[in-house]
Structure 1
Amino acid sequence: MPRTAAGVQSATACLVEGGWGTYRQFHPTFAFYAQQPNCHPMVAEDETGRVLGTAVSTSWGSSGWLGHVFVSPELRGRGLGKELTEHAIQLLRGEGCGTIQLIATALGRPVYDRLGFEVETHYHEYRGTTLPRSVPMAPLRPLLPVDLDGVLSMDARVAGEDRSGALRPLFMSGWVLPGRSRPAGIVVPTPWGGCLATQLPETVGAEAQAVLRALRSLSALGDEVWVYPTTENAIARELLSSQGFEEVRMIPRLVLGPRVAWIPQAVWSPLGLGLG
């Protein structure tokens, strides 16, 4: 995909016109990919230049992610999704990624299974309502420049990957849950709506409620908020259910190659469903 406004627009249109979301959701997503040197958005085009399929590979060093593998409805079942996926895998292998991960849709799952991906865990998609921007955030506070190193270190510990290049542009809009000597949690709004949200398991219940308040206040897709805790994060799932959130579906996280050392029970919502 050309890293241009026209390239972003064409890739976004493929997904939206194919029924997979909105321009509000995917235009900021592909614009972000276009600005990140470790993200490689790719497209398949017909002879007129119309985009027929997309895929994005993101390298975090020794591991990487696949995302937004999409094929226009009229071309499904012809092998284009497999071709895009294999090309993205080859690109990541060439960048030294021994581990490749993704969050699978039902449409893509058969392709990933045949390529050797295995289920590692699931994200649970919860839907609820937002809270006003004026809701109290304490004990969370806005992130400050002095927090940067600690937050990046905590994210690397939770994710098992160095995502600092992607987080730096988003950093100053985020909030931090201070710990005794280092951050214990973060809630960082993303351009495509929703938030990256993590909370270390050793924190207490009152702090978990503050993390959820921040998620509901800072998420930016209308009156609804979507949260994606892992199966291992029982605290988040129980709290979401108790506050009236509806569990909509479970989405498998798949892995090809050695598993990274991460902390799944700390994840309230990932950076993005194509980024981990």
Structure 2
Amino acid sequence: MSGCGAFLHDDIDPFLALATGEGWISGRWEFEFLLGTFPQGCLVWREAGETVGYLTSVKYGKSGWIGNLLVQPQARRHGIGRALMERAVAVLLKNGVETIWLTASEEGAGIYCRLGFAPIDHIYRWTGQGAPQPGDRSEPVDLEHLRAVDRVGWGDRRETLLQLTCCRGRLHASSGGFICCQDWGDALQVGPWNCVIASQALQLWDRMLVPGDRKIFLDVPAGNFAAREILSSRGFSVKGSAQLMYLGHHPLYQPGNIFALASMGSMG
């Protein structure tokens, strides 16, 4: 038997092993969230009892995000990725999603274009070094404030994602923005980082981070020129890029308000 099925908790560890081999940054906590939030959009492809393809998706308001499309090397170029994508799109649309997002490598963008996705921006992965402020403690999460700021950039309600990431990381907020720093083993991820008052972005960065030797990475829209200036001034550089694409209604996307994404490509 072969075909599309449900992504199960038992599929998490095999996926993470495969993703590590591909150089992806992903963690078990993401899959616990995705399977608990939108299980019908988390899919696998099985051949003779073996899982050879994976895909996750999640819904926020009228928006959806597809991530973690990964096929075993020996099973590629047989239409499995396309079949998983078509099923995921159908599930999201059936559940009221009007705009579907994803990030794609330059090599992989073709399959998404053929499915009707259109590029809207590039996402640059910036890396550098730093450390949390000594004695830094996370501020209480004002979810309504975070949601309002985040919505300016993405055009939709994403409070479930914001609550997850900001509660697992360290958070600082201002009147017009917020920044979160999440632990990834020995490294740190900055994001989500959003500002409607761009001049506050640098202040938030300096409240959160100081010079240090821990690896720091973050995914930033190419359309945010203020983020580029801040990161360049702190000695960060671009180490990779992906296309940001969408399908469906043209989103109310404002990259100048999005300084860093909340996750490393898997859920927005």
> TM-score under structure 1 normalisation?
0.82
* Distance verdict in 2 for CA 1:185–1:122, change over 3 Å: same
| Stretch of structure 1 that moved more, 7-16 or 65-74 | 7-16
In the aligned structure 2, how far is the partner of 1:30 from the partner of 1:121?
26
Determine the structure 1 residue equivalent to 2:3: none
What are the Cα deviations for residues 234-253 of structure 1, in whole angstroms up to 9, with x where unaligned?
11101211221111233110
What amino acid sits opposite 1:9 in the alignment? D
Give the match's secondary structure for 2:27.
helix
2:179 to 166, 187, 209: 187
Single out whichever of 91-100 and 126-135 deviates more from structure 2.
126-135
The counterpart of 1:208, out of the listed 201, 208, 221, is 201
User: Is the strand fraction higher in 1 or 2?
Assistant: 2
Aligned twin of 2:30: 29
Using a 3 Å threshold, how does the CA distance of structure 1 residues 191 and 57 change in structure 2: closer, same or farther? farther
Q: 2:229 aligns with which of 230, 234, 238?
A: 238
Q: 1:214 to 1:117 in 2, by over 3 A?
A: farther
Alignment counterpart, residue 159 of structure 1, candidates 126, 134, 154: 154
Which structure 1 segments of 5+ residues have no match? none
Q: Partners in 2 of 1:92 and 1:130 — Cα distance? A: 39
Determine the C-alpha separation between the residues in 1 that align with 2:119 and 2:138: 36
- Cα deviation, 1:75-128, whole Å, max 9, x if unaligned, reads 211111111111111111111112111111234211001111111011121111
Please say if residues 120 and 244 of structure 2, whose CA atoms lie closer than 8 Å, have aligned partners that are also in contact: yes
Structural RMSD (CA): 2.6
Q: Secondary structure at the match of 1:194?
A: strand
CA distance in 2, matches of 1:39, 1:125: 30
Secondary structure, in 3 states, of the residue corresponding to 1:229?
strand
Report the secondary structure of 1:91's partner residue. helix
- 2:204 & 2:14 partners in 1: Cα distance? 36
**Helix, strand or coil for the counterpart of 1:210?**
helix
So what's the TM-score if we normalise by structure 2? 0.84
Is the CA contact (8 Å cut-off) linking 2:179 and 2:191 kept in structure 1? yes
Between stretches 91-100 and 207-216, larger displacement belongs to 207-216
Distance 1:87 1:20, change over 3 A: farther
The structural deviation recorded for 1:194 is 1.6
Query: Gaps (5+ residues) in structure 2?
Result: 1-5
Distance 1:190 1:56, change over 3 A: farther
For the Cα contact (< 8 Å) 2:180–2:193, is it kept in 1? Answer: no
Separation of aligned partners in 2, 1:10 and 1:250: 26
**Shift, 1:37, TM fit:** 3.5
Partner Cα separation in structure 2 for residue 51 and residue 73 of structure 1 = 12
Deviation at 1:261, TM superposition (A): 1.1
Residue 153 (structure 1) shift? 2.0
Sequence identity (%): 22
Match in the other structure for 1:198: 193
Q: 1:254 matched to which residue of 2?
A: 245
Match of 1:41 in 2: 42
**Equivalence for 1:148:** 143
Tell me the CA shift for residue 132 of structure 1: 4.1
Structure 2 Cα separation of the partners of residues 62 and 143 of structure 1: 29
Contact 2:117–2:245 under 8 Å retained in 1: yes
- Once the two structures are TM-superposed, the CA of residue 69 in structure 1 deviates from its matched residue by 0.8
Q: Which residue does 1:58 correspond to in 2? A: 58
1:85 aligns with 2:85: yes
Instruction: Give how far 1:166 is off.
Output: 2.5
Counterpart residue type for residue 186 of structure 1 = F
Counterpart of 2:13 in structure 1 is 9
Total equivalences in the alignment: 256
